[in-house]
Amino acid sequence: MSQTVKRSKPLLWLIDPFESTASQADAAYRFSGSKMAWMLPLVVGIAGLLVSAVGWAMDSQQFYFSYLMGWSFCLSLTLGGYFFVVIQHLTKARWSPVIRRVPEVLMWSFPLLAVLAIPIILGMHDLYHWTHHDLLDPASEHYDPVIAGKAGYLNTPFFLARMAFYFLAWTFVSFRLYKLSIQQDLTADPSIASKQRTISAIGLPLGAITVAFASMDLLMSLDPHWFSTIFGIYFFAGAFMSIMAFMALVFMVLQRMGMLKSAVKLDHYQDLGKFLFAFIVFWAYIAFSQYMLIWFGNLPEETVFYRHRLEHGWETYSAILLMGHFVIPFFLLIGRWAKRTLPLLGFICVWMLVMHWFDFFWIAAPILHGEHASMSIFDIAAFVGLFGVFSAAFMYRLSRHAIVPENDPRLAKSLSFINS
């Protein structure tokens, strides 16, 4: 009698803590691609990180800023997937079950991102001025009363404690929803849908609060003299916009590889395009609201953020962000036909993901290069490296289970969905 031997792969726990269900999945919903689907982005990612390591040897501060931009991009994608999943469960959406497994898999990236955050923790002194003790000492010539006044919140132990809490909260919700979804594949238990809504009811407000604080801690505190009460919404708008672009691209790739050809239809792409268009506009609305309120208030501690981005060459980058993140995609995507023309939609999705990273660059880079606008090759290398590793882990996890939640009670409605 033959016996199947299971080999322990403890290091893969960060990638997939559950047993593969591919053998139980219907053939139409199995991942049928080769290992190159995750090996190729892994090789590209490792190459990018090696180039970044050269940057660390040459200029460690530049490396830490570049790394933070790329890591924040990957984090925002994962948080976008998190919000998409909990909202679909809470609203009992009937159009989305067929596409929901992709963000479910994506949001299990939090443990991996926590490990990839180690360089950011090691580089906190280079990234965050509020970690400099001489700024807090009244006897020092570098004493900064503004930073000293915020020391109760902006201090290293409390920062690390908050980061730990954020990731534990996100991981808990993601783990529960992902596990329930996989169990649903295996058992078709009708009570699972109710459990998913219960977890999502906790996850939505918990995610809203933690994401708002995390965006301020990670990005807004790079310039501790500046503050904005809607920066968390600004971050959320970009994250939710980016997950729509990412999901549409993933399904285009899967269909090109021969999967889900009849399951994901133009009607689903049209709805993803609608959400993408809506959050392009919403991001612009929040960005303009933030700018208008700060301009109207005309307080030096607030206007300094935009002053640094409207001089010394940064005004060109600001114009690129305005045109590339809003004006151009707005007119390209406004028509219904554009959302149903996959080559054009695919181009816009790639464009918006690049512009989403450029948004993080625009937030962080002027703090490092305030006197002269510049973009380093290591900015791009860190972005490619981290996104490559991130994508490889995502594709590996996706290949381990059915790529559609096959026993979801609303799957039949999703498969027959028609976009009127």
Using CA atoms, how far residue 266 sits from 86, 252, 263, in Å, is 24, 11, 10
Question: Quick check: is 9 in a domain?
Answer: no
| Cα separations in angstroms, 205 against 69, 211, 384 | 26, 10, 32
Rg for the chain, CA atoms, rounded: 22
Q: Is residue 1 part of a domain?
A: no
Q: How far apart are CA 71 and CA 397, in angstroms?
A: 19
Question: Domain for residue 6, yes or no?
Answer: no
Sign of CA dihedral 183, 169, 93, 29: negative
Handedness of CA 328, 331, 334, 339 (dihedral sign): negative
Position 412 in a domain: no
Domain that holds residue 110: 24-402
Contacts of 186 (CB under 8 A, 6+ apart): 21, 24
Q: DSSP alpha helices (H): ranges in 97-191?
A: 101-106, 110-116, 118-122, 124-127, 145-149, 156-187
At 248, list the tokens.
């549409």
Interaxial angle between packed helices 60-91 and 192-218, expressed in degrees from 0 to 180 and rounded to the nearest 10: 150
What are the DSSP calls for 98-114, one per residue?
GGTHHHHHHGGGHHHHH
Backbone angles phi, psi at 123, to 5 degrees: -100, 20
Rounded distance, CA 354 to CA 356, Å?
5
Q: Is 15 part of a structural domain of the chain?
A: no
Q: Distance between CA 379 and CA 375 in Å, rounded?
A: 7
User: At 368, which amino acid appears?
Assistant: L
Question: Which pLDDT tens digits describe the chain residue by residue (420 residues)?
Answer: 334 334 444 444 455 555 544 444 456 788 888 899 999 999 999 999 999 999 899 999 999 999 999 999 999 999 999 999 999 999 999 999 999 999 999 998 999 999 999 999 999 999 999 999 888 888 888 898 989 999 999 999 999 999 999 999 999 999 999 999 999 998 989 899 999 999 999 999 999 999 999 999 999 999 999 989 999 999 999 999 999 999 999 999 999 999 998 899 999 999 999 999 999 999 999 999 999 999 988 888 888 899 999 999 999 999 999 999 999 999 999 999 999 999 999 999 999 999 999 999 999 999 999 889 999 999 999 999 999 999 999 999 999 889 999 999 999 999 999 886
Cα gap 315→98, rounded to integer Å:
43
Q: What is the dihedral of CA 218, 221, 222, 226, to 10 degrees?
A: 140
Q: Is residue 411 in some structural domain?
A: no
Q: What is the pTM of this model?
A: 0.93
Tell me, what's the pLDDT at 32?
Answer: 87
Domain count, the chain: 1
Contact call for residues 332 and 338 (beta carbons, < 8 A): yes
Q: Which residue carries 């199947």 as its tokens?
A: 4
What is d(CA 142, CA 136) in angstroms, rounded to the nearest whole number? 8
The rounded distance, in Å, linking the Cα atoms of 149 and 377 is 37
**Rounded distance between C-alpha atoms, residue 210 and residue 232, angstroms:** 9
End-to-end CA distance of the chain: 57
Burial class (CB in 10 A: 0-12, 13-18, 19+), 395: buried
Q: Which residue has tokens 């001025």? A: 129
Do the beta carbons of residue 70 and residue 385 sit within 8 Å? yes
Residue 313 backbone zone (phi > 0: left; psi -120 to 50: alpha; other: beta): left
Q: State the pLDDT at residue 16.
A: 57
- Our measurement of the distance from residue 102's CA atom to the centroid of its chain's CA atoms, rounded to an integer in Å, reads 13
DSSP annotation of 224: T
Tell the burial category of 98 from Cβ atoms under 10 Å away from its Cβ (0-12, 13-18, 19+).
buried
Tell whether 140 is covered by a domain: yes
**Can you give the length of the chain in residues?**
420
Cα 197 from Cα 267, distance rounded (Å): 25
Q: Is 319 a member of any domain? A: yes
DSSP 205: H
What's the pLDDT score for residue 370? Answer: 82
C-alpha distances in Å from residue 286, one per residue of 145, 163, 354 = 30, 25, 19
> Tokens standing for 229?
């009460």
| CB-based contact 378:62 (threshold 8 Å) | yes
